[in-house]
Structure 1
């Protein structure tokens, strides 16, 4: 692959970026109206929205039309689109999706010391309501405290969510940082804890303690990433259910579509929806998880009826 092709985002997809499931099943679970996919990505098309030359992986295209079709199939009517690290700080693909979303979408941005306040205010106007901090080495070098403070200064007054992506012992390693962040913090994908460390691991103990502060939220998504058993991911589903029971007012859920940087085949998104029957087994818990909590966390209009995509 030539260097010009790399710059234009056309290199072959990385091995850890398999295609999404070719035929996700129709969920048996009927989700409540206004249900939100609180973590998904829009990727490409690369010919229109080139991937960053500094990216650490190259995904297959998963444009906004593809995501909308999946949401219609699953019964989801709102979504939070998270800027992928393969796009870096170029938010054109995110803003394009938000503009086409008709109020159904919110965004989470990737910003840094070079992002200006004017750029951030434009992102806010477009529908961005959070910024992501990546602590996974395969995505980027972990941000320094100076970088984080610079970001916090730039988003001051916007009530954005700080979204942390950690793995293994990361939530315990970052405990003091998380406690020091102003406003609300949401931790991605069950903190991607290692279930091999057991149910009383330092990471899980810290995670429960952080949830008890009232300022920390958890995405009970990514059971396919956390499970050590494979589908239907019973070990990770049980963990997710325990957190929904522990802090029902501070949990949200997402598909993580199109499931980049994984080992093996992508999960069946219809199955992931059906697993919510076990993760939030009560209708009231399910509504909190899928409707009320994401509405609060990501500043969706609370009374606006949202048709399915």
Structure 2
């Protein structure tokens, strides 16, 4: 008899949501029964991009949020990682929580050493708050350039963030869409330290391998300071599962810059047009993204350890 894979909410029930907080369109529930991957990941493998959301009864969503997700509390995310064989994770602060990092700090404090964080630094975030985030395990800040999340930051606002995180060694993580990469190429070159491009820059695969956005992304990678997350294959694909077109792009980026790529589930997959992908399938696709065992270890273990300051893994 085949064992049914447990959905993370069965392992860690989600608290009831308050009245009047129905999820927004584009925030479907996670896959109802993610499969257990056939790929056995190397020890120390990291989900370098996922979110902890709520629970709203404990960590309310920002009043000015642009979307309302389903809760994805820390126990639910931890259960998923255990099922997928992921030992480490990077929790990215979601715009639906805005600048309130209470939930992120709670999650980081509950699993010292296994988690790192990415913060959203706003005009009201003080240096003292930033240092508290650093002590908890935050090692990057995110800049959202997608209009459906928030108004893109100005150069003056970016400079203000850089001034307040100075000396901490944090990476700048950019969430951009397609040809915005080319528009922001000069900005990226002026940012100090490491720069991370989320979800392969969300390039339009219809533009082909010589599209403007992909050319800019590769040029930035060639500069030696830019990293890319080969996550979000379900977002980029024009074909649907198993997302062969987006997987091919991810594989080409891994081959192009194997020492500056990381991977993540993007769980729980908010602001998407289709149903949430099977996270077990996403893990199995990593073997196609990084078919060389040496590249697989770099992608899943060594690179995230370097980028997010995890302890070394033998």
Q: Normalised by the shorter chain, which TM-score bucket?
A: over 0.9
Q: Provide structure 1 residue ranges, at least 5 long, that are not aligned to the other structure.
A: 1-7
Q: Which TM-score applies when normalising by structure 1?
A: 0.95
Question: In structure 1, how many angstroms separate the alpha carbons of the residues matched to 2:256 and 2:20?
Answer: 45
The C-alpha deviation readout for 1:185-231, integer Å capped at 9, x for no partner, is: 00000100001111101110110010011100000000000111110
Partner of 2:238: 228
Residue of structure 2 equivalent to 1:184? 194
- Distance in 1, Cα, partners of 2:276 & 2:91: 19
> How many Å apart are 1:10 and its aligned residue?
5.3
- The match for 2:137 is 127
Aligned mates of 1:112, 1:91 — CA distance in 2:
11
Structure 2's unaligned 5+ residue stretches are 1-17
**Structure number with higher relative contact order (C-alpha < 8 Å, ≥ 6 residues apart):** 1
Which residue of 2 is the match for residue 283 of structure 1?
293
Tell me if the contact between 1:9 and 1:46 (Cα under 8 Å) persists in the aligned partners.
no
- Alignment of 1:166 with 2:176, yes or no, is yes
Check whether the contact 1:13–1:60 (CA below 8 A) recurs between aligned residues: yes
Deviations 1:6-64 (A, max 9, x none): xx895110011000001001101000000000000000110000000000000000000
How far apart in 1 are the matches of 2:144 and 2:182?
A: 15
In the alignment, the residues of structure 1 paired with residue 94 and residue 19 of structure 2 have an alpha-carbon distance, to the nearest angstrom, of 14
1:32 corresponds in structure 2 to 42
Structure 1 consecutive aligned stretches of length 4 or more whose deviation exceeds 4 Å: none
* Partner residue, 1:52: 62
What is the RMSD of the two structures over their aligned residues, measured on CA atoms?
1.0
8 Å CA contact 1:9–1:50 kept in 2: the answer is: no
Instruction: Please tell me whether residue 260 in structure 1 is matched to residue 260 in structure 2.
Output: no
What residue is the counterpart of 1:198 in the other structure? 208
**Residue 102 of structure 1, CA deviation:** 2.4
Q: Write the distance in 2 (CA, Å) between the matches of 1:211 and 1:101.
A: 32
Residue 277 of structure 1, CA deviation: 1.0
Does the 8 Å CA contact 1:9/1:47 hold for their aligned counterparts?
Answer: no
User: Does the residue aligned with 1:217 lie in a helix, a strand or coil?
Assistant: strand
Q: Give the drift of 1:113.
A: 2.2
Confirm whether residue 18 of structure 1 aligns to residue 39 of structure 2. Answer: no
Q: Secondary structure at the match of 2:146?
A: coil
Contact 1:161/1:183 (8 A) holds in 2 = yes
SS at match of 2:218: helix
Which residue does 2:15 correspond to in 1?
none
Q: Deviations over 1:79-103 (max 9, x none)?
A: 0000000000000000000001121
TM-score, normalized by length of structure 2?
0.93
